[in-house]
Structures are given as C-alpha cells and as structure tokens.
Amino acid sequence: MQVVHENKNWFTTINAVSPDYLVIRAWTALNGEFFTQTEMDTAAKVVLLGNTILKNLFEPGEDPMGAMIRIKNMPFKVVGTLEAKGYDTRGNDQDDVVFIPFTTAERKIMGTKFMGSIGAGYLSAESPEQMAQVVDEVQRVLRQRHKLRPDQDDDFTVRNQIDIAKVQEGTSESMKLMLLAVASISLLVGGIGIMNILLVSVTERTREIGIRMAVGAKRRHILLQFLVEAVVLSAMGGLIGVGLGVAGAQAASNIAGWPTIISADILLIAFGFSALVGIFFGLYPANKASQLNPIEALRYE
C-alpha cells in the first residue's frame, strides 16, 4: 500500500496491530511511544514508522514526530518511530514497516467487509518450556471458538517459533552442505586443470630444466620453481573467483534487495585456500620435474 508524505511516496505493507503486538515482537520506540489504549478504543489515525520508511519519506535531519502522512488519502499523525532491526534471516527488511491501530484499519481502511477479521495473532510464553502448553491451549480455544467437531481438522494454523527456527536451521545446514559440495567439485576440477597444465609445461620445458640442472640448480630449486608457478596459477584463479563472487553478491543485493556482508577475513581465507590447492595439485608435476635426469633432459627434443 502507498504511504505519502508531501511530495514523497513509498510502497510498503501496512500492519494493523494492538499495542501488545509491539511488545511481544520486541519492538522498541526510538522516538515517541506505542499506541495507547485510548487510541485503540477511538480508532485514532496515528502511525508508527520503521527506519526504512523514515529514510524514504523524510529528509535527513527532518523531525518526523507530529508530521502527517497519508494512507489511502487519509491523514495519519506520526506518534512514534522505531529502533532499526535490520534484515531477518530470510533477507527481509524488518524496518520497511508501518504500524497503525487494528481498530483504525478495521473501521477506516479495510471497511465493513473485514470487520472482526484477524489475519494472524502472536502470543508470548513466559519461558520456552511453557511453549508446548501454550500451543495446546491456543489450539483448544480456537477449535472451540470456530465450533469444530472432534472429527474435523483445524481450519487454522498454530506455529511455534522454536519449531520454525529449527526448520530454518535445518534448511540452512542443507544449503551449506550443498554449497560445500559444489565448491569441493569446483576446487577438484580446478586443481586437476592446474596439474595438467604443469605436466604439459614440464614436458615442453624438459631441455630448460636440464640446462638449469647442468649449471648447478639443485632438485629442490626445480621443485620450488614449479610449486611457485602452481601457486601463482591458483592464486590468480582465486583472485578472479573472489572478484566474480563479490560482483555477483553485489548484483544480487541490488536486484533482489538482499543484504550482502563481505568480510576481509572471508576473502583472505578464500584466497589462501586457493593457494593451498595450487600447492597440493602442483606437487606431483613439480616433483616429476625435479626428478628428471639432467643428461636425458638435455638430449630431449
């Protein structure tokens, strides 16, 4: 729904709630206060704004308190602003939010068609141990209010935040395993590619290796030379990969609006791991080069 302030507008979801909702969902007022019971009883046209709404409707430094915004061409007074929460685990902007009293939405926005209609309700238990008991009690009360017979299925859904968190954690772990498998296959293919390149290089540079040995190069020098080349190849690949990864993450953030957090530690780990791949897969070609017989190497055509 469109929210308008002077010559600026923003499309967002209008949340019709009671004051208890804000407490249960752990919202904190940055300025002003939550709705009062009087405002609920009188269906007052008052509104609470999240941080994203403030940034898009008001100029930096402009005081929103007491300002009038329009929702469905009806004026609403800003009585409070909310502390920023940032993005949730699914990438949703929690600050892109507008709260108005439930009674106001019911009587002045949604119309008589939705009178008494509640889309969702939130309850808070005193402790996690009591959550199962609360869920059972809620289901019992709702079945009674909906006049459902014992043989009828629920026509509502009760979700436990603990269970939801467990499902999200399981999904996250599955995604991690899948990405780990993809990354492992990519590293394996890349490492084999580096090894093949160096084996071809060893064959083509056999005379060069023989000459170096003939003028005094030790086997360890030859080994180190090819290991360095392997590390350089893999490090260049890692650098390109990190660059593409950062660019892809930024593109996804700009297109889908997902938050992107890129830490220097992660970039260093990725770059260092690519160098280790070079050492591991470059060891066999480097050892093969160091084991060449100098005389036979000089005769190689």
In a domain, 155, yes or no: no
**Same domain, residue pair 184 and 118:** no
Which pLDDT score, from 0 to 100, does residue 115 have?
52
Strand partners, 17: 101
Does 22 map to a domain?
yes
Least confident of 71-80, 187-196, 224-233, 245-254: 245-254
The C-alpha atoms of residue 92 and residue 189 are separated, in whole angstroms, by: 36
Q: Tell whether 185 and 265 lie within a shared domain.
A: yes
Length of the chain: 301
* Residue 268, in any domain of the structure: yes
Do 225 and 114 belong to one domain? no
As a whole number, the mean pLDDT across the chain is 83
Q: Are residues 6 and 118 in the same domain?
A: yes
d(CA 149, CA 261): 51
Whether 9 and 113 map to the same domain: the answer is yes
User: Tens digits of per-residue pLDDT, 61-88?
Assistant: 888 999 999 998 899 999 999 998 887 7
| Residue 101: its H or E element | strand 98-101
Regarding whether 107 and 12 lie in a shared domain, the answer is yes
Number of domains into which the chain is organized: 2
Statement to judge: residues 215 and 116 lie in one domain: no
Q: Report the distance separating Cα 183 and Cα 106, nearest Å.
A: 52
Higher local confidence (pLDDT), 141 or 195: 195
Residue 17, judged by CB atoms within 10 A of its CB (0-12, 13-18, 19+), counts as buried
User: Is 141 part of any domain?
Assistant: no
pLDDT above 90 for 47: yes
What is the reported pLDDT for 77?
Answer: 93
| 22 and 117, same domain (yes or no) | yes
Please check whether residues 104 and 13 belong to one and the same domain: yes
Residue 156 inside a domain? The answer is no
- Would 147 be classed as within a structural domain? no
- Cα 2–101–132 angle (5° rounding)? 110
Asked, for residue 71, whether it belongs to a domain, the answer is: yes
Range of the domain at 256: 179-299
Instruction: Choose the most confident range, by mean pLDDT, from 89-98, 150-159, 281-290.
Output: 281-290
- 194 within a domain of the structure (yes/no): yes
Q: Last residue of a domain, which of 122, 140, 168?
A: 122
Question: Residues with Cβ < 8 Å from 157, sequence gap 6 or more?
Answer: none
